Structure 1
Amino acid sequence: MSTRILLATRNAAKLDELRRIVVKRGLGDVEVLGLSDVDEFPEAPETGATFEENALAKAHDAAVATGLPAIADDSGLSIDALNGMPGVLSARWVGRHGDDEANLRLVLGQLQDVPEERRGAAFVSAAAFVVPDGAEVVVRGEWRGTIIHEPRGANGFGYDPIFVPEGETRTSAELSPAEKDAASHRGRALRSLLPYLQEFAEGN
């Protein structure tokens, strides 16, 4: 019998990413569900000051509402020249949630006169795992790189088309899903959770 774990997201790309990572780890008895696979429940707004606070709050709400062990992540882009912003506001940098193109264009405008040597940035992801009995863990992954001047690539989402990882000439949006899984902030954070998922699955 498989162990069901809920990834508290409606983002199909995030769901596919975790499923690929779980399969690669060999956790064949773990079934990863998304929010579309469970009954709807009230989702609290993201009001935390840190990625970790938001990830824990989302995972806790999902575990309590569904009775399933839940994973949630909060991620975003931290730009050196903008003092770490957009940060936790990455998905709503223009003032509304989820307008990737507008967010990206706003960042490029804000960095218009910033020289190459000051265009450093990092994608950051905090991932939380919460089980219904209250046990919880939160981990963090970072992916350093630089911000280019114009978008390139059709893979990925959000700020991927303007982020070139360290050691790469391609943007995150030009990497294959497997390449991105191996290097990305979310991939790093989710892989850090795998021992906890395995322990939970083996104990149930």
Structure 2
Amino acid sequence: MRRKIILSSGNKHKINEIKDILKNTIFDVVSKDDLGYLDFDVEEDKDTLEGNAFKKAEELHKLVKGIVIADDTGLFVDALNGDPGVYSARYAGEPVSYKDNNKLLLKNLEGVPMEKRTATFKTVMAVVLEDGSRLMAEGECKGKIAFEERGTNGFGYDPLFIVDGWNKSFSEMTEEEKNQVSHRANALMNLKEKLEEASEGSGN
């Protein structure tokens, strides 16, 4: 029996990544926008990725029928004591653009040598099942922050994040390459197992 998953996101890049990673499963993935909730928005005011992810999932779960997934992602840069971290999406203030965030990150890392520009991308995936029970999965990807933007694919901090072992930024990778190693892919693979276990446990 197929199950519907509703993504509490309007970010097309993120939605496409999630759909690609969950293809060939029993889950049909739709976004909140597909269901007509274009104006649905949740203030991300928690101080952890987990808190923000569950807030987004639980608020949408009140409005729709099905499994709701939300994620929150942060870039944690060691030389900046973990910043921008949970505030990654609005690092340069609001309203903000990816370019503004990247410019501020590069400015704050001026003079820091490559070996000390280590960083970790972390994603928390929060799920609220049909009956209101909750699941969570995490994923991360380690790398370094480049001295300038590289590549044209991806979004957010992707042009600056050089993945360990690849010598490529996320923006220089193909979608297939990124979905093998990214923080969101790792979180989703962990989540996929938990969703399948939950489905088996419910008799579906």
Specify the TM-score bucket, using the shorter chain as the normaliser.
over 0.9
Deviations along 1:73-118, one digit per CA (max 9) or x if unpaired, are: 0002110011111011111111114510010000000001112221
Residue 7 of structure 2 is aligned to residue 39 of structure 1: no
Q: Distance in 1 between matches of 2:170 and 2:55?
A: 28
Contact 1:64 1:132 in 2 (8 A): no
Q: Distance in 2 between matches of 1:166 and 1:109?
A: 22
Q: Distance in 2 between matches of 1:88 and 1:12?
A: 21
Aligned pairs for 1:111-190 (under 5 A) are 111-190=109-188
Q: Which residue of structure 1 aligns with residue 19 of structure 2?
A: 19
Q: Distance in 2 between matches of 1:100 and 1:155?
A: 13
> Helix, strand or coil for the counterpart of 1:108?
helix
How many residues get paired? 201
Deviation at 1:201, TM superposition (A): 4.5
> Helix, strand or coil for the counterpart of 2:143?
strand
Greater alpha carbon shift after TM alignment, 179-188 vs 111-120? 111-120
Q: Distance in 2 between matches of 1:20 and 1:48?
A: 29
In structure 1, stretches of 5+ residues that fail to align are: none
Identity level (%): 39
Deviation at 1:200, TM superposition (A): 4.5
Deviation at 1:53, TM superposition (A): 0.9
> Helix, strand or coil for the counterpart of 2:86?
helix
The one-letter code of the counterpart of 1:87 is G
In structure 2, stretches of 5+ residues that fail to align are: none
Greater alpha carbon shift after TM alignment, 143-152 vs 90-99? 90-99
Q: Which residue of structure 2 aligns with residue 72 of structure 1?
A: 70
Q: Distance in 1 between matches of 2:129 and 2:60?
A: 10
Deviation at 1:163, TM superposition (A): 0.8
Q: Which residue of structure 2 aligns with residue 193 of structure 1?
A: 191
Q: Which residue of structure 1 aligns with residue 57 of structure 2?
A: 59
Alignment RMSD = 1.5
The one-letter code of the counterpart of 1:194 is K
Deviations along 1:117-156, one digit per CA (max 9) or x if unpaired, are: 2100011100011113221011111100001101010010
TM-score between the two structures when normalised by the length of structure 1 = 0.93
The one-letter code of the counterpart of 2:7 is L
TM-score between the two structures when normalised by the length of structure 2 = 0.93
Q: Distance in 2 between matches of 1:42 and 1:141?
A: 26
The one-letter code of the counterpart of 1:164 is I
The one-letter code of the counterpart of 1:90 is S
Greater alpha carbon shift after TM alignment, 44-53 vs 131-140? 131-140
Contact 1:181 1:187 in 2 (8 A): yes
Q: Closer, same or farther in 2 for the Cα pair 1:67/1:98, shift >3 Å? A: farther
Q: Distance in 2 between matches of 1:150 and 1:101?
A: 12
